[in-house]
Amino acid sequence: MCDAAPTVISFLDRDHSILAFNERVLDWAHRPGVPLLERMRFLTIVSSNLDEFFEVRAADHLTAAQAGELKGPYTVGSFDALAAAAHKLVEKQYALYNDELMPAFAKEGIDIVSNGDRTAAQKEWVHEYFESDVRPLLIPVGLDPAHPFPQVANKSLNFIVRLSGKDAFGRENEIAIVKVPRVLPRVIPMPAKVAGKKKLFVSLSSVIRAHLGLLFPGREVGQFSQFRVTRHSDLAVGEEDVRNLRTALRLGLQQRHYGQAVRLEVASGCSEYLSSFLLKQFNLPPGALYRVHGPVNLARLQQMIDLVDAPQLLFPPFRAGYPRQLVPGRPIFEQLQRQDVVIHQPFESFDGVLDFLREAVHDPQVLAIKQTIYRTGNDSQMMELLREAVRRGQEVTVVVELKARFDEEANINWAEALEAIGAQVVYGVVGLKTHAKMLLVTRREGSALVRYAHLATGNYNPRTAKLYTDISHLTADPLLTADIEQVFVHLASQSRLPKLNHLWLAPFHLQRKLVEHIDLVGMAAAGGLDARIVLKMNALTDEPLMQALVRAGQRGARIDLIVRGACMLPARVPGLTDNIRVRSIIGRFLEHSRLFYFRAGHEEQLYLSSADWMNRNMLRRIELAWPVNDPQQRQRLIDECLVAYLHDSRDAWDQQPDGSYKRVKGAEGPHGHSAQEALMQRYAAPPGEEEMRRWT
């Protein structure tokens, strides 16, 4: 069904596409119409995103540069180009912070007061705070043959100091390191007695900087700088070589904070002597050095956002309505016997999913509950409900993905807690991450066993369910729930997977099925039929799928791609991708839902999925895609998740043929259509709904 030879096209660079996505996020921090604390929040989000980018994506480029590689995907040139783009983005962040955000905060009576701007009373209070809360936790380390450069943890705050004079033993060891414990807050509010009517803060780095001399009695502090090193943090555990993956990951987590250094941040005034000294210690080239005009970790300014009590500087609070399709107080199992239920989060509340599981846990007719766990967080209502199910004697099987990046420790802890009380805990398939989101309930109804299921495009995490757009699908469809049962059996027993009715499963046939459907639409277009593809996802980097889209577009299919982040497929390139448009939506909520729409003539299909179109999702993960067969449900999702986003004129960016993005025409004004805002208005909880639900 596929063409014999792939279409010749140059794809865009993935890493530069990720940085371009963060440029679009940073744009929200630039917008004067966005509440001031929210602008700061978007700035911190970009900083956090960049941290993860360096932790995961930078090491290969750096290693290639250090080895002098000139050919291949990672080279001296790729490192230099990526460093240049990253430096440019960081410079924009700090220019925004210093030139726009902090002056705007000052007008609101909110400020982070530097040592030079503090009054005498404020300096006295800061000194008392330093002596009581900070100094007891600091242990300066003077470097000499007996005290080598200390281990510096990933993303921790530190100071390097150059001293004159001699130490207590008459030696002239001039370099000292001060490691700052993570337990100390990075932003400290001043009390009203020294702040007056303003809301004033001091940064921890400023507190320490003002008192460095007290840490080295008898020595004179000369040059100094705060610094922060970012390390490669993608855990690599050879699963084939370990007997116990959980134990191996525990050991790996202990080493994560001390992996290969990939980025060094220092204060803008750091001397060449000290910066060169640090680069040598961390074995980094000059391109990995970032001189910043402010705190070395903007992400920690999230603390200030949480401390400022100024609702007028935040988005108006949004309270999601209870899912429209669910009737509060009526058994959800009974409702699912009549029709499937689709929940559009965060506009509709995740409470519907929690209520489904809660009902299952407390129903004496429920015999078994099976669930996949990818990212639930440390404080999870769902995990507590599963523990309650075990205590009530239900058979609970949990497929825990231990290698969910940066959630490994939380998942290990939950796995151990569930296993300790008798749940069946399995870790999926060796070599594959279990990224599928599914929850299956088996219930006795008369003489029959009936299954009910929840499938989702996002994680079982009540916190992110308020921040990410996702689709939850509750169903009692016997064919679909039978497929889910087979997938759970496969994950637990690793037995051969039988033919499935509705589910497409990676790594077995998800990619192949997608290519087949793309090609079917392309052939329909070539035959003169109406042919349309609309896809919504977070990333598009898988080459076979991109090649298939190019083929379909060249055959005449109209293709719209709504890709939030990295997209390697260039749009509207003359003679190659004329019929393909790429759009990115960056809104108040993080776009996270995955929907795939195919129309060939009169036949249309809509699939929901846990998978982005990346090679790892197609070939190295357990992923699901499933159809929405009910015509009304399908049309609702098409209207809300696809059509509305294609007509967004407030939060949308269109990709240009060179891979750059431009905000859509009219997006600069306040009156354009925002898909997210329209959905918020449609689904917001009416006054008193929560009280009514509790009463019901």
> For this structure, is 293 an active site residue?
no
Residue 525 has pLDDT above 70, yes or no: yes
Three-state secondary structure string covering 378-412:
CCCHHHHHHHHHHHCCCEEEEEECCCCCCCHHHHH
Q: Right CATH number for 506-664 from 3.40.710.10, 3.40.605.10, 3.30.870.10, 3.40.50.720?
A: 3.30.870.10
Q: In this structure, which amino acid lies at residue 37? A: L
Contacts of residue 421, defined as CB under 8 A and 6 or more positions apart, other chains included, come to 387, 390, 391
CA distances to 130, 143, 144, 274 from 214, rounded to whole Å, are: 10, 18, 21, 21
pLDDT greater than 80 at residue 544? yes
Instruction: Identify the three-state secondary structure at position 120.
Output: helix
Q: At what angle do helices 408-420 and 245-256 cross, to 10 degrees?
A: 140
Q: Is the pLDDT of residue 242 over 70?
A: no
How many CB atoms lie under 10 A from the CB of residue 116? 7
605: its two tokens: 């299909």
Find the DSSP H helices in 183-262: 192-195, 204-209, 245-256
Q: What is the pLDDT of residue 5?
A: 46
3-state secondary structure 560-586: EEEECCCECCCCCCCCCCCCEEEEEEC
**Encoded tokens for 147:** 């005290």
Q: How far apart are CA 454 and CA 326, in angstroms?
A: 14
Can you tell me the distance from the alpha carbon of 646 to that of 641, in angstroms, rounded to the nearest whole number? Answer: 9
pLDDT over threshold 70, residue 47: yes
Q: Of the ranges 15-19, 377-381, 633-637, 685-689, which one carries the lowest mean pLDDT score?
A: 377-381
Q: What is the pLDDT of residues 460-507, one digit of tens each?
A: 888 899 999 999 999 999 999 999 999 999 988 888 889 999 999 999
Amino acid at 287: G
Which of 11-15, 63-67, 156-160, 161-165 is least confident? 161-165
Q: How many CB atoms lie within 10 A of CB 543?
A: 13
Annotated active-site residue in 344, 435, 490, 592: 435
Give the integer Cα–Cα distance in Å for 155 and 261.
10
The span from the CA of 685 to the CA of 173, in Å, is: 65
Alpha carbon separation from 193 to 198, 220, 685 (Å, rounded): 10, 33, 41
Question: Model pTM?
Answer: 0.91
DSSP H or E run through 473: strand 468-475
> What does the pLDDT read at residue 426?
82
14-313: which CATH architecture? 2-Layer Sandwich (3.30)
> Would the CATH topology of 14-313 be identical to that of 506-664?
no
Question: Quick check: 555 pLDDT over 60?
Answer: yes
Q: Which CATH class is domain 332-502?
A: alpha beta
Cα separation, 472 vs 633, whole angstroms: 12
Mean pLDDT value across the chain: 90
Helix runs in 397-542, H state only: 408-420, 478-493, 510-526
Is residue 394 within 8 A of residue 369, CB to CB? The reply is: yes
Segments making up each domain of the chain, as ranges: 14-313, 332-502, 506-664
Closest of 115, 119, 205 to residue 160, by C-alpha: 205
- C-alpha dihedral over 90, 93, 97, 99, to 10 degrees? 90
